[in-house]
Structure 1
């Protein structure tokens, strides 16, 4: 029992996940008379907003990842266990993991989100995703492997498919990776692959909604769309990806785009755990919580961040799955746990909207701030860079990222075009433990798409 954790008379708070929410909570509990145990399947904190830059060679993986044990060095009430959580047993106050059972006095779910493929098996089995560092490294290798193959093939249609990239999902991740790929096509790939006519490389962004960056303001949506079109990205709005077969992504029964590079950035589910009350877990696998982030039906189990579904009068559909929400919920829960130890009443969560932003490319970004303030262009780009740089964990990561960005800006180059770990499709099909969990989580029934406007077959 308890995987060699020290016995203590202090309350044990177990936190599952060391993303934005789990990291902030564990740090804010440093001065409380409690034992803090963080469990994660990785031994590092991953800065997800910059994963797309790892995938496109702008940054190396260790620039956005930081060892968990190093983050908490010197925090004497902190303990870390690298493990996969299998289920929670609220009746016994026990967490079941692949390394053994761990007892808790208070349990906090900060498990984040998983990719939702909406039941599209052919896409799930063949599309690339960007939810983790291994995902990003696999995508980087796969893209450059396909360019190496394109040089060798004599079939024009196959060469086109190897060069084309289709991104599904017009949220920040989809928009940002499309912009990064467009800059690679313009400034980087022609130098590396002079044998290829890179003008033939097509980048498509498929979005089911009427606009990109759906949660942002209308002004930012229009500006981002203009940036994307200016960079030569083909937008397919009001369009649903239906299936992926034989190197073709279909967006109707007969219409398709040829590509060997399909990137899925279209949807997420919460990462709920087995063992929670059924009525607390929604269809999208987010966990229902009250205004103190306590899981519905349980007295000492909490959920924060992307996995938490807090429904209020102001947020009838729950708070958005954003890093600022996760961080503020972690801060509030840490304060409430301190109140609980003092026998004081818990305070409800109140979210302070600090704005949202997305980058499209060099000198191209959009920013929404409270008070209906919107701006973009170079100023938006600088704002995006500053906020993300300051949010990175560790001085080294900040310094390395800043230097990498400076070199890329002034040289229009991305130096990390390395295929260190070749990606094999059959390895992907076999699935890792993480990807198998994603399939289990993606249980939402697929809703048939509305009819898309008539369009010819593209990409050959």
Structure 2
């Protein structure tokens, strides 16, 4: 029991997950009379908003990751265990992991989110996602491996499918990776592969809704649309990918886009932990919490960040799954722990919306603030500054700044490396299973390219 954690008279706060919320909470409790135990399956904190830049070669993986133990070096009340959580036992106040059981006095679930494939098994088997550093490295290798294959392919239709890229999802991740890929097509790839005609490379973003960047302002939606159109990205609105098999991304029963490369950025679910009663888990796998971030029905179990479903009058579907929400909830929960220690009543959480932003390409970004909107070069600088300051670790900030400066001055991306060759048969989901049925498929490439749709006002 307790995996060699020291026995102490202080209450033990076990935090499952070291994303934005878990990391911030553990830091906020550094001077409190509690034992802080963080459990994570990785030994590093991952800055997810920049994963797409790892996938497209703008940043290396170690620029957006930082060792957990190094972050907390010198924090005497902190302990870390690298483990997978199998379930929690709320009756025995125990977390069951693959390295043993860990007892808790207070449990905080900060497990984040997982990719939601909406039950489309062919996409889950054969598509690529960007939820982790291994995902991003696999995607980068896969794209460049297909470019190498395109050089050797004599069949024009097969070559076209190797070049085409379909991005599913018009949220910030989908827009950002589409813009980054379009910039690579324009200024980077023709230098590396002069034998290939990249005017025929088709980058398509597919969005089921009526606009891109659905949560943002109409002005940001229109500007992002125009930025992508200027970059030559095909945009399909009010369209869903039904299935992806035999190197074809079907957007109807018979119509498809020929492609070997489908990137799924269309949705996420909360990463609820087994052992939490089903009646407090929402349909999107987020855990229902009250305004103190207490899991419904419990006094010593809490959830923060993406996995927490906190419904308010302004947000009837729950607070957005954004890093600022997780960090503010962590700060608030730390204060409430101090109130509980003094026998005081916790106070309600109130989200302070400081704005949202998305980058599309070089000098092109959109920023929505509570009392205003701006875009273009100023929006791009704002996006860079905010993300640079949010990165963990001085070294990561410096390396990211240098890489971005190099990319800006040279219109190049230096990290076009296939360090770990990727095979679809190696793809695994979170349950460790993902067969690659299309690995040796013989596709037919006879679909017309999709038309660009005009956004609705």
Q: Confirm or deny: 8 A CA contact 1:116 1:438 kept in the other structure.
A: no
- Secondary structure of 1:173's counterpart equals helix
Q: Provide closer, same or farther for how the CA distance between residues 310 and 438 of structure 1 changes in structure 2, counting only shifts above 3 A.
A: farther
- Secondary structure of 1:117's counterpart equals coil
Give per-residue Cα distances to partners, 1:36-93, cap 9 Å, x unaligned: 0000000000000000000000000000000000000010000000000000000000
Q: Does 1:457 align with 2:448?
A: yes
Distance of 2:313 and 2:403 partners within structure 1: 44
Distance of 1:295 and 1:457 partners within structure 2: 51
Using structure 2 for the length normalisation, give the TM-score. 0.95
Distance of 2:116 and 2:228 partners within structure 1: 25
Distance of 1:322 and 1:158 partners within structure 2: 39
Name 2:387's counterpart in structure 1: 388
Q: Confirm or deny: 8 A CA contact 2:289 2:295 kept in the other structure.
A: yes
Q: Does 1:240 align with 2:240?
A: yes
Give per-residue Cα distances to partners, 1:317-345, cap 9 Å, x unaligned: 11010111111000000100111111111
Could you tell me which runs of 5 or more consecutive residues in structure 2 were left unpaired when the two chains were aligned: 436-446, 451-457
Name 2:438's counterpart in structure 1: none
Using structure 1 for the length normalisation, give the TM-score. 0.94
Distance of 2:147 and 2:244 partners within structure 1: 20
Name 2:439's counterpart in structure 1: none
- Secondary structure of 2:389's counterpart equals helix
Q: Confirm or deny: 8 A CA contact 1:115 1:438 kept in the other structure.
A: no
Q: CA deviation at 1:458?
A: 1.9
Q: Confirm or deny: 8 A CA contact 1:24 1:327 kept in the other structure.
A: yes
Q: Confirm or deny: 8 A CA contact 1:113 1:307 kept in the other structure.
A: yes
Q: Confirm or deny: 8 A CA contact 1:18 1:45 kept in the other structure.
A: yes
Give per-residue Cα distances to partners, 1:109-147, cap 9 Å, x unaligned: 000000000000001000000000000000000000000
Distance of 2:26 and 2:302 partners within structure 1: 14
Q: Confirm or deny: 8 A CA contact 2:328 2:351 kept in the other structure.
A: yes
Q: CA deviation at 1:436?
A: 4.2
Which structure 2 residues correspond to residues 38-437 of structure 1 after superposition, within 5 A? 38-371=38-371, 373-428=372-427, 431=428, 434=430, 436=432
Q: Confirm or deny: 8 A CA contact 2:129 2:263 kept in the other structure.
A: yes
Distance of 1:123 and 1:67 partners within structure 2: 32
Q: CA deviation at 1:457?
A: 2.9
Distance of 2:96 and 2:342 partners within structure 1: 29
Name 2:444's counterpart in structure 1: none
Q: Confirm or deny: 8 A CA contact 2:124 2:434 kept in the other structure.
A: no
Give per-residue Cα distances to partners, 1:404-438, cap 9 Å, x unaligned: 0000000011010110100011111xx25x35499
- Secondary structure of 1:410's counterpart equals helix
Distance of 1:315 and 1:279 partners within structure 2: 21
Q: Which contiguous aligned blocks of 4+ residues in structure 1 show a shift greater than 4 angstroms? A: 435-439
Q: CA deviation at 1:314?
A: 2.2
- Secondary structure of 1:228's counterpart equals helix
Distance of 2:141 and 2:432 partners within structure 1: 22
Q: Confirm or deny: 8 A CA contact 1:127 1:262 kept in the other structure.
A: yes
Q: Confirm or deny: 8 A CA contact 2:48 2:132 kept in the other structure.
A: yes
Name 2:19's counterpart in structure 1: 19
Q: CA deviation at 1:299?
A: 1.2
